[in-house]
Amino acid sequence: MKIIVGLGNPDGKYKNTYHNVGFSVVDFFAKQKNLKFNKNKCKADIAVAENFVLAKPQTYMNLSGDSVYELKKYFKAKLEDILIVLDDIDQPKGKVRFRLAGSAGTHNGLRDIVAKVGVTPRLRVGIGRDVTLDLKDYVLSTIDEQSHEILEQSKLKACDLIEKFISGELCQDITV
């Protein structure tokens, strides 16, 4: 069973922010697969398919490891079968990067997952960085219209890579 975890913050006020791009990607993928997030289990909203689970932790970003730990345990998943989908300020807007492993970088949600669960594959969606704003202010800001269009294209790329991850075709680092 593959587990695809989109990172974000559960409070509605964060819905259209850069930090919720992970939620946005798994929502988009769920829509493509005609799945609904209709269960709350392991501190996450989940949608269950035959060979994969989509999850959106409801623990707030910096405590994402709590939910991922519970998901791993409940579904008896191996680390290599858990894909974390997250925003990445170190990638230009529109870039999507899959990595089998690596550091958490500047992302506190991924840091918490690595500390509590271990290193898993990750799919980073580039959101760029506005150097005129404090990092926290930027990632929690509302996505502007121009960036929205770029990120919509990123979702398509990300969903293609998620599909390949689920099928086992994705076995090396790639940037698209």
* Catalytic machinery residues: 19
In the chain, count of helices (H) and strands (E)? 5, 8
d(CA 134, CA 139): 9
Residue 173 vs residues 46, 67, 69, 91: alpha-carbon distances, Å:
26, 25, 24, 15
d(CA 173, CA 165): 11
d(CA 44, CA 70): 9
Residue 149 vs residues 18, 59, 64, 81, 145: alpha-carbon distances, Å:
13, 28, 27, 30, 7
